[in-house]
Chain A
Amino acid sequence: MAAVRGLPEAPPIVLDTRPAARPKRGHGPGGRPVGLSILLWVGVVAFTLLSVFPYLVMLSTTFKSGQELAGPAHWIPDHFDLDGIARTLSDPSIWGYFKNSFYIAAGTTLVVLLAGIPAAYVLARHEFRGRKLFLDLVLITQMFSPVVLLIPLFRLYKEVGLLGSMEGVIIAGSAFTLPFSIWLLTGFFRAIPVEIEEAARIDGYGRFGILVRVILPLSIPGLVATGMYAFIIGWNEFIFAVTFLTANPANQPVSVGVFASIGKWDIDWQRLMFMAILGTAPVLAVFAAIQKQLDRGFASIASGR
């Protein structure tokens, strides 16, 4: 991988000149001075605390009864109260929220993959008139915020009957997820050696045959990663859902359900935080699973391909 333009690729032998006994740590060879070690650990602790703070708040609050929450703030619950969890799980409307979140996330994944795979494939492998124009247009969509499109989309959806439906949220959310997904997929498709494709072509496969029988089987990890990325975005969808589904609470996902309940007078924070945990846990698991593939995607961006 020629990572940096203008730099000659170093011969691989260079690596062998390093003394074998020295542990390889960090960027350069050699150990780390004590001062830097301290700095490193200060950084590690600080970033960890900032990252986990909201999750600790969720956990801590989930186990505190309303009475305890009304008292002075503290982190460790006095007596771990499980009533909030029971109240949440016994409420049938909670499952509705989850079903909706899942439907929207799965729908977004499907639409993004169906639209993204063919586009990424021709963009990765073929030269055609308008290719650069398409890429530029895709780049420009990245400037858009969902907010600036809400009013025209609202009107359009009312006209075509998508207002209040989860499909409307899926369509809008997919369009915003598509550009980065195409980018990711293009990187994964490019990583497949052209020679394999050439061989398939000589065997008589057309473009569609090559895509389905050669490219897709070879890029399953990439497809899974992109699909999961779309799933996470769909699961976390908020702004379209809160706008288009206001009039139809039966179709609202978890994020909107939680938000809707903080507008009320008497907020049951204990129950709300457990809902937030339930609404966060699945995507965190998915995200942990695709970290490596996303890293590869970022690396390909970093190397300027």
Chain B
Amino acid sequence: MSNEWEIVIGLEVHVQLHTRSKVFASSSWGFGKEPNEQVDPVVLGLPGTLPVVNREAVEKAILFGLVVDAEIPEQCAWDRKNYFYPDNPKNYQLTQKDFPVTMGGKVEIELPGAARNIMGEHKWIRIHHAHLEEDVGKLSHSGSGSLVDYNRAGVPLLEIVTEPDLRSSAEAAAFLNALVVKLTQAGVADCDMEKGQLRCDANVSVRRMGDIQLGTRTETKNLNSISGVRDCIIYESKRQIAQIEAGNKITQETRGWNAEMSRGYVLRDKEDAHDYRYFPDPDIPTLKISRETVNRLQKLVPEAPFDRQRRYIEKLNLPYTAASVLIADKALADWFETAVAAHPTNAAGIANWAANDLLRELSAQSGAEIGSDETPAVKISLDSCLIKPAQLAGLVKLTDEGVISKQQAKEVFTEMFKTGKDALAIVEAKGLRQNSDTGELEKIVAEVIADPAVAKSIAEYRAGNEKAINALKGPIMKRTQGKANPVMIDQLLRKLLG
């Protein structure tokens, strides 16, 4: 029997959809309001009130489906999930049990590569379905009693259920990163985990490598960060393997996760499982989804991030790293493509500026951290960016044409970022234009060669030390105040030194 273990993971991801009002009520919602400020008679479940499905929420859910190539059924319907808890205003939750808004679908993920600049393995994770339901309120306990805030109650929640296709904590993290990028780029959700806009339940089981049958799974509820999901999977898979290796059986149970302690704990076992007494909600008729709606929403689906990555690498000859940075932020990638359209011959040069210098400056401006685990999509705003895409293209073009050196370009870029002026205007104003006058440069090069101070370097070069030629370039630059075209200097030196 093999001693190697395979971990099998399925995720249930709960995402708050980006909508103006709640899913079955006209009350607005958002972060940072006083408790129970965002409620109305429908949200509070006052007697006689009825739910009305928010069209925007349904359309966002459909858009999600289209983004992951899901099937959009002709109709969807809501069921009541009955359970008593004070944060649940009606003591039933409206959810979709039998007729969810989207069926199937798949998400492409990329695993970490061997190094930061090497592309990792790509893999497709299947989605089972996604259903649209209502969020519940928040209960808090204090010494004097329990308090409940219904601001979150009725917020549209899309529950995305994967197939058990994930095989490691790294794959789970990669999946969540890819999902967040897709959801935010399509405008389906903001996925701000610090605001609880994305929460996750992890179903974990283990089996011996090569086994066909799945092991008994446990479900850990309410993981609210990608690192939490990763830590929980590592913890839970180790726990299960240790149990089995000790000759014990895994109990099918629902578990909680203590993020501070990085430890899981049992919430309830199978015997205590709730009987939710689902039945079709009689207040909401079956909703028909017209193909016109689906076709209209299909037009809003952005290019898949990894399709974009492949296009950048294969068609635009971008290095992997720059391509990966750009595709993580749709606005930045769009910005980049506008710049490329203005100067199509050096996409890699533009990408280099956009993915490094521009992103660094923008991040510094907004105080965001680049590429941390919890912010896979770097949160920058191009709205306040003074450099327009065509202007960056102009800078690259000046460099490509040899008008300014790469060193000079850095200086010009800094000025452009601060002022939003055109590169050429800055070059002119600062007198940065690179000297490419062959006659003038040849005269200067000849004068420097004649200087006895460099005689030793010339001798070394002539003796075969290629690098010795560089010692001659400094004095030439000094004489031209750094404006000499370095390529031409190199050529002239080699010519004159024979």
Do A and B pair up? The answer is no
